[in-house]
Amino acid sequence: MVLNKVLELFCVKKKDSKKKGKAINPLCKEYGSESDGYNLFNQFDVVQDFSDHYYAKNSPGKTSKDWVKTIQNEWKLLQKDLPESIYVRAYEDRIDLLRAAIVGPAGTPYHDGLFFFDVRFPSEYPQSPPKVHYHSGGLRLNPNLYESGKVCLSLLNTWWGTGCEKWGKTMMYSLRKPPKHFESLVARHFHERERVILDACDAYISGAVVGSSSAKGTKHPRDNNRSFADFKKSLEKYSELLRKDLAANRTHFLKLTRDSPAAADEIVECTSS
């Protein structure tokens, strides 16, 4: 499955098939998929509106019964065997399309980020590989993920770019423009991780290596290091912008959960810690 390859880009291990996937509570009934009853943000679900999908205008072409059966089998595998860090939406009227969200794993430069991919299965699948588009926001995170959204799966487990600057910019892009059917996931994800993300920014400004997410982690050598000074200046600028976006997301989250006392208690506990 192509998603296994995409997961390797982020150093995510395949889930133990004996373990159940994790679901999170949605924020309000305006969000979530059409079929989940708004009780859970399911890891896998089937939705209808594919209008903002990158491959929406690509015709599925002439398909066979075997092809349909193959896609249906893929859906079954996704329903029962997704790692906890990945969420998928398939489309009822366009079974050749799906969208995936991957949570960046801890201990890597991708930590706490949300990364979105649009996938299209050609009529020749599985003889021909799927097409994959990354929601890049114009940023290139590593050699496999281009600014244009092109995905190259030939090189794995590599990091490339200006460290935390792109880490922060990617978060801002997801916060400002969450893909359809993932709005509640984005809002809750960044609300729950706001403190961790901001603490990581402070740690990186203090010299921690990007990905360590700890002020006690390995430090960048700073003696006579002009590049660190430039990095710190750039990071301070973008971390302030990220801080504002996270605050706006918190306000949005509070508004969506204002009618839920349990959620409000959870928010107070989270933001005061």
* Domain boundary assignment for the chain: 2-272
Angle at 140 between CA 192 and CA 97, to 5 degrees: 75
| Average pLDDT of span 79-95 | 91
Band (pLDDT 50/70/90 cuts) for residue 169 is: confident
| Domain 2-272 architecture | Roll (3.10)
Active-site entry in 152, 164, 201, 270: 152
More confident residue, 156 or 208: 208
Q: Report the alpha-carbon distance of residue 146 to residue 134 in Å, rounded.
A: 8
Q: Which region among 6-10, 167-171, 247-251 has the lowest average model confidence (pLDDT)?
A: 6-10
Bond prior to 26 in cis (omega within 30° of 0): no
Helix axes 163-176, 194-205, angle to 10 degrees: 150
The answer on pLDDT for 182 being more than 90 is yes
* pLDDT recorded at residue 170: 79
Is residue 270 part of the annotated active site? The answer reads no
Instruction: Read off the pLDDT of residues 15-28 as tens digits, 9 standing for 90 and up.
Output: 544 444 444 443 33
Choose among 6, 1, 4: nearest CA to 149: 6
Q: Is this prediction's pTM over 0.85?
A: no
Could you tell me the two tokens for 184? 């509640």
Instruction: Read off the pLDDT of residues 101-124 as tens digits, 9 standing for 90 and up.
Output: 988 888 777 788 888 999 999 999
More confident residue, 222 or 114: 114
* pLDDT recorded at residue 35: 38
String of DSSP letters for 213-269: -STTSPBPP-TT-HHHHHHHHHHHHHHHHHHHHHHHHHHHHHHHTTT-HHHHHHHHH
Helix, strand or coil, per DSSP, at residue 88: strand
